[in-house]
Amino acid sequence: MSETQHQPLRIVITGASDGLGYHLARNYAAHGHDVLTTGSRQINDERLYFDQAGIAYVRADQSEPQRAAGRIDEALDRLGWDRLDLVLLNAGVGWSGDPAEEKPDSVAWQVAVNLGAPVAIAHRLSSRLFAAEGKLVLIGSTAAASGNARFATYAATKAALDAFARALREEWAGRAQVLMLHPGPIRTDMHAKAGLKLGLVRRFFMTPERVARAVAMAVRKGEAKRMITRAYGWRSLLSRPREGQL
């Protein structure tokens, strides 16, 4: 390899079979990076599957946090990736409705997927991240701070994730960076999956493509904590990675 050629960086993105994660994975792959993605769905009979863009996928259902972390770890062993430049913990679920009517199973499910699994995966992948002095990115939500009555448990899991990020930043100081990014509303199917009918208001949400660009800009800048607003999304249109950069 010549001095001007860059080694592809190695990236893990959870929850990349749909929505924001899907666009993040495609963006990073389009810039020549190696990407391992996850989701809960079975895409193929293979344990480790590669799509046409060369993006790897492993099923890792975060409703069982330790098991999901183990499956990602095992996939990384198979790929031979002992160093990770970026781990983007993006997978998330929500339930929308009157908090008084929410079933205990729904609370436990969101806590496992949105909080328990990121904690388990972060710890499991830490040595690979330290080896590259990489970046761990946690995807939260502005709902964590805004108080959203119809997404109470969801908002609570994202607020807890923010607290986890603060603690981890101290614990990992000098070994890996920890970034906490809180997007505003995104035009994905997440709300419909959560049981919320949005109607016309959905049109005013940021597109997942724009949010993916904004997330990439925040990652490049190494922003410890950032609200991904519409204005930040616009700014990201002017920002492009240099070759070999994340």
Ligand X SMILES: NC(=O)c1ccc[n+]([C@@H]2O[C@H](COP(=O)([O-])OP(=O)(O)OC[C@H]3O[C@@H](n4cnc5c(N)ncnc54)[C@H](OP(=O)(O)O)[C@@H]3O)[C@@H](O)[C@H]2O)c1
Binding flag, residue 139, ligand X (CB under 6 A): yes
CB–CB of 151/96 below 8 Å? yes
- CB-wise, 128 or 158, nearer to ligand X? 158
Distance of alpha carbon 186 from alpha carbon 210, whole angstroms: 9
Question: Out of 12, 29, 91, 159, which residue is the one contacting ligand X (CB under 6 A)?
Answer: 91
- CB-wise, 123 or 175, nearer to ligand X? 123
Binding flag, residue 141, ligand X (CB under 6 A): yes
Residue nearest to ligand X (CB): 19
Binding flag, residue 90, ligand X (CB under 6 A): yes
- CB-wise, 9 or 13, nearer to ligand X? 13
Binding flag, residue 190, ligand X (CB under 6 A): yes
Shortest separation between residue 211's beta carbon and ligand X, angstroms: 8
Question: Any idea how long the chain is?
Answer: 246
Q: Which of 141, 130, 8, 128 is nearest to 69 (CA)?
A: 128
Identify the residue whose tokens are 């986890």: 164
Binding positions for ligand X, 7-26, rule CB under 6 A: 15-21
Question: Based on the number of CB atoms within 10 Å of its own CB, is 64 exposed (0-12), middle (13-18) or buried (19 or more)?
Answer: middle
Binding flag, residue 118, ligand X (CB under 6 A): no
Q: Please name every residue paired with 39 in a beta bridge, in sequence order, or none if there are none.
A: 59
Shortest separation between residue 198's beta carbon and ligand X, angstroms: 10
Binding flag, residue 233, ligand X (CB under 6 A): no
Binding mask 30-69 for ligand X (x = CB under 6 A): --------xxxx------------------xxxx------
**Rule CB under 6 A: which residues touch ligand X?**
15-21, 38-41, 60-63, 90-93, 113, 139, 141, 183, 185-186, 188-190, 193
